[in-house]
Structure 1
Amino acid sequence: MVTGPDGIAHRAGDATTDESLSRVLGRPVQLRRETDVPHHDESPVHLITTSSVAEPIGRPIDARRFRANVVLDTGATTGRSRWRTAGTGATSPSGTSWSSPLGPGMPRCRMADLSVPGQVEELPILKTIARHHDVLFGLQAHVARGGHVRCGDTARLI
Structure 2
Amino acid sequence: MGGTPGRTLGTIERIWRYPLKSTGGELLDEAAVDTRGLVGDRLYAVRDTEGKFGSGKNTRRFRRMPGLLRLRSRYPGDAAGRPPELLDPDGEPVSDATAYVRRYLGRDDVEVAREEAVSHFDQLPVSLLTTATLDWVRAAVPGVPVDERRFRPNLLVRTPPGTPAFVEDEWFGGTARIGGTLRLRFERSSERCPMTNEAQQDLPHSPRILRAIAQAHDMRLDALATVARPGRVRLGDTVELL
TM-score under structure 2 length normalisation: 0.47
Q: CA deviation at 1:101?
A: 0.5
Give deviations 1:75-95, integer Å, cap 9, x for gaps.
443324523223513212x43
For residues 74 and 80 of structure 1, do their structure 2 counterparts lie closer, same or farther at Cα, with a shift above 3 Å needed? closer
Q: Match for residue 24 of structure 1?
A: 78
Give aligned-pair identity as a percent.
32
Whichever structure has more helix as a proportion of its residues is 1
Q: CA deviation at 1:65?
A: 1.3
Q: 1:98 aligns with which of 163, 168, 182?
A: 182
Q: Match for residue 18 of structure 1?
A: none
Q: CA deviation at 1:123?
A: 5.4
What is the correspondence of 1:32-47 to structure 2 with a 5 Å cutoff? 32=113, 40-47=121-128
TM-score under structure 1 length normalisation: 0.69
Q: Match for residue 67 of structure 1?
A: 152
For residues 150 and 116 of structure 1, do their structure 2 counterparts lie closer, same or farther at Cα, with a shift above 3 Å needed? farther
Partners of 1:86 and 1:54 lie apart in 2 by 19
User: Which structure would you say has the larger RCO, counting Cα contacts within 8 Å and 6 or more residues apart?
Assistant: 2
Q: 1:56 aligns with which of 124, 137, 140?
A: 137
What is the root-mean-square deviation in Å for CA atoms of aligned residues? Answer: 3.2
For residues 81 and 63 of structure 1, do their structure 2 counterparts lie closer, same or farther at Cα, with a shift above 3 Å needed? closer
Q: CA deviation at 1:151?
A: 2.7
Any idea what SS the aligned residue of 1:24 has?
Answer: coil
For residues 65 and 77 of structure 1, do their structure 2 counterparts lie closer, same or farther at Cα, with a shift above 3 Å needed? farther
Unaligned ranges ≥5, structure 1: 6-11, 14-20
For residues 154 and 84 of structure 1, do their structure 2 counterparts lie closer, same or farther at Cα, with a shift above 3 Å needed? closer
Q: CA deviation at 1:129?
A: 0.6
Partners of 1:145 and 1:124 lie apart in 2 by 38
Q: CA deviation at 1:122?
A: 3.4
**Is contact 1:104–1:139 with CA below 8 Å preserved after alignment?**
yes
Any idea what SS the aligned residue of 2:214 has?
Answer: helix
Give the aligned length.
135
Q: CA deviation at 1:149?
A: 1.3
Whichever structure has more strand as a proportion of its residues is 2
Partners of 1:27 and 1:114 lie apart in 2 by 29
For residues 116 and 83 of structure 1, do their structure 2 counterparts lie closer, same or farther at Cα, with a shift above 3 Å needed? same
Partners of 1:149 and 1:81 lie apart in 2 by 23
Q: 2:175 aligns with which of 89, 95, 106?
A: 89
Partners of 2:225 and 2:84 lie apart in 1 by 24
Any idea what SS the aligned residue of 1:149 has?
Answer: strand
Partners of 2:191 and 2:82 lie apart in 1 by 30
Partners of 1:89 and 1:116 lie apart in 2 by 33
Any idea what SS the aligned residue of 1:64 has?
Answer: helix
Q: CA deviation at 1:52?
A: 0.6
